Amino acid sequence: DSGVTQTPKHLITATGQRVTLRCSPRSGDLSVYWYQQSLDQGLQFLIQYYNGEERAKGNILERFSAQQFPDLHSELNLSSLELGDSALYFCASSAQDRGTEAFFGQGTRLTVV
Amino acid sequence: GEDVEQSLFLSVREGDSSVINCTYTDSSSTYLYWYKQEPGAGLQLLTYIFSNMDMKQDQRLTVLLNKKDKHLSLRIADTQTGDSAIYFCAGEVRFGAGTRLTVKP
């Protein structure tokens, strides 16, 4: 158990809908990272938050957004969902900023139908 | 951006050593990582190496870093069937496509 909790574990939704994925980092970790793993794109870094502030941005679509709350949990919002958004979404946390060891949650499997 | 490339497949016999290779383009990562993903499971951090190190050994795992050639490798000694998984090489932002290691008895 990495100490990073992601909910829900599975999510099935229709195209055009909006979903929110939640991540609770390890206790004391200030950084949260979001990744998308899909069959055609592989594993991609989406975005990082550090102590509530956006720190780094990767290949995140404009339809997607994220935030980190004062209690350090994070949410990834995916809107106007398309079939191609079906993927495993991982959250990871680390104690400090990038360059420190990160621990991954088990992922949320999103299926868009 | 940082591109990370690795071969897609590797097959070895149980008891042999496995070597998974990775090349990267951007040298700005402070750490370089190896992750393991078993079928249907999440990512597990296996080991990492600080960018100013050449080698790191951790039990059966040996990581070699050649900064000049931007080449990273992971050696698994005495490979077991339980080592069958996908191994990802990663910098701080980008991941390789993953190498599927198959261990034959």
Per-residue pLDDT of chain B (105 residues; tens, 9 = 90+): 458 899 999 999 999 999 999 999 877 777 888 999 988 777 888 888 888 889 999 899 999 999 899 999 999 999 999 999 999 998 877 788 899 999 999
pLDDT tens-digit map of A25-45 = 999 999 999 999 987 778 888
How far are the Cα atoms of A5, A35, A64, A109, A113 from residue A106, in angstroms, in the given order? 7, 12, 20, 9, 22
The answer to whether A101 contacts B41, with C-beta atoms less than 8 Å apart, is no
Q: Which residue of A43, A59, A98 to mutate against B (max B Cβ within 10 Å)?
A: A43
**Rg over CA atoms, chain B:** 13
- What is the pLDDT confidence band of residue A11, given thresholds at 50, 70 and 90? very high
Chain B nearest C-alpha distance from A49 (Å) = 13
Structure tokens at A10: 């599975």
**Portion 3-32 of B in contact with A at CB < 8 A:** 29-31
Whether residue A107 lies within 8 A of chain B, CB to CB, comes out as: yes
| Distance to chain B for A40, nearest Cα, Å | 10
**Whole-number pLDDT of residue A98:** 67
Residues contacting residue A42 through CB under 8 Å, at least 6 positions apart:
B95, B97, B98
How many A×B Cβ pairs under 8 Å?
Answer: 45
Single out the residue of A30, A36, A41, A42 nearest to residue A97, CA to CA.
A30
